Structure 1
Amino acid sequence: MRRTALGVAACALLLAGCGGAHSPQLSAAAGFVPQPALADMAAGYLTVRNDGDADDALTSVTTSLAARVTLHTTDGTRMKQVDRLDVPAGGLLELARGGNHLMLEKLDRKPRVGEKVTLTLHFAKSEPIEIQVPVEPTSYRPEGE
């Protein structure tokens, strides 16, 4: 009986260890906000990298600059608001002009070129990530875009 109890305990520990091994490992970089043309709305772009072995999803973004931040996909010329954007295991979520992006709505003020905007990214599984992104000229295009 004692050997059975030890065997069950060992199996439970082994399974618990295996279950915890799969997790996302997220980081964010390469972000910017183009100086908005409108006084109350701006776009936001960045890249979320997942070096882990489990998927995650960006579920919301907050910033003190805007009352609300929404997530959007783009298909051709159609923009669609979504509840989440997937961050695949071992992959990237790229928010870029003409594709997935953020919309910062009801801005408190119009940000100026050169200032930094703090964005807090919230995920389905991972802890939030805070990133500071520069405000760039409206016509700014990162290398490779």
Structure 2
Amino acid sequence: MFKRALLACAPLGLLTLAACSPAEEAPVSNEPAEYAVIEGWVRNPLGGRDVTAGFVTLTAGAPGGQLVGASTEEADAVELHTMAMDGAVMRMRHVDSLDIPAGGAMSLAPGGDHMMIFGVNPEDLEDGEMTLTLEFADGETLTVTLPVRDAAPELDPEMGAMSHDGHEMADEGETGASDPQDPEPEDHGH
């Protein structure tokens, strides 16, 4: 069954910022942001492959945060990747961090920012779950257990599900089609 590791955080709709007059400065918090995973999943590796992708929706309290990495005992390496249009081709590339807005949410989703997971042993996923430790720039970590699925679960329309119908997808430096739910990246040395 789906297990979630959630940290307490105020509901997004209840977070407000106090108005400041021009002479006042907003207080700066030296406290680390509180992070939470709203939802997430890992794509079941396609037959014979040892690479897959992971997706989560993260929230951060004030002052916001940056996701800088992830790790799992069920794979050799995890990298943060983004998807961006290069002319008429959607390309995937490795990034060092992804910003989470203060009091807001950031989604890693098919067709957009995501975690590439290399060196997966399908036998380690037989229980239908993968445990990932998310790492943040402020030194905080969050461990979450995500379900392993063959396809994306139904997404809440208010969560901003993206459609990339009609776009040709390619990994960095390559041409040709590639589906972000069917990742087959070039060799990144793993």
TM-score range, shorter-chain basis?
A: 0.7 to 0.9
Corresponding residue number in structure 1 for 2:66:
57
Q: Is the 8 A contact 1:33 1:135 kept in 2?
A: yes
Residue among 72, 81, 92 paired with 2:81: 72
Corresponding residue number in structure 2 for 1:96:
109
Structure 2 Cα separation of the partners of residues 113 and 30 of structure 1:
21
Alpha-carbon spacing, 1:140–1:19, altered in 2? closer, same or farther (3 Å): closer
Alpha-carbon spacing, 1:102–1:58, altered in 2? closer, same or farther (3 Å): same
- Structure 1 position 125 matched with structure 2 position 141: no
Q: Is the 8 A contact 1:113 1:136 kept in 2?
A: no
For residue 70 of structure 2, give the secondary structure of its aligned residue in structure 1. strand
Quote how far apart the aligned CAs of 1:55 are: 2.3
Segments of structure 1 that go 5 or more residues without pairing to the other structure are 1-17
- Structure 1 position 44 matched with structure 2 position 54: yes
The amino acid of 1:49's aligned partner reads T
Structure 1 residue ranges (4+ consecutive) displaced by more than 6 angstroms after TM superposition:
none
Corresponding residue number in structure 2 for 1:140:
152
Q: Is the 8 A contact 1:56 1:126 kept in 2?
A: no
Structure 1 Cα separation of the partners of residues 44 and 126 of structure 2:
6
The amino acid of 1:48's aligned partner reads L
Corresponding residue number in structure 2 for 1:82:
95
Per-residue CA deviations over 1:30-88 (Å, capped at 9, x if unaligned) read: 110111115210100001111x2212101110001111000001113111100111111
Q: Is the 8 A contact 1:117 1:133 kept in 2?
A: yes
State the superposition RMSD in angstroms.
2.1
Segments of structure 2 that go 5 or more residues without pairing to the other structure are 1-26, 162-190
Structure 1 Cα separation of the partners of residues 109 and 124 of structure 2:
19
Q: What is the number of residues matched between the two proteins?
A: 126
The structure with the larger Rg is 1
Larger relative helix fraction:
1
Q: TM-score, normalised by structure 2?
A: 0.60
Percent identity between the two aligned chains: 32
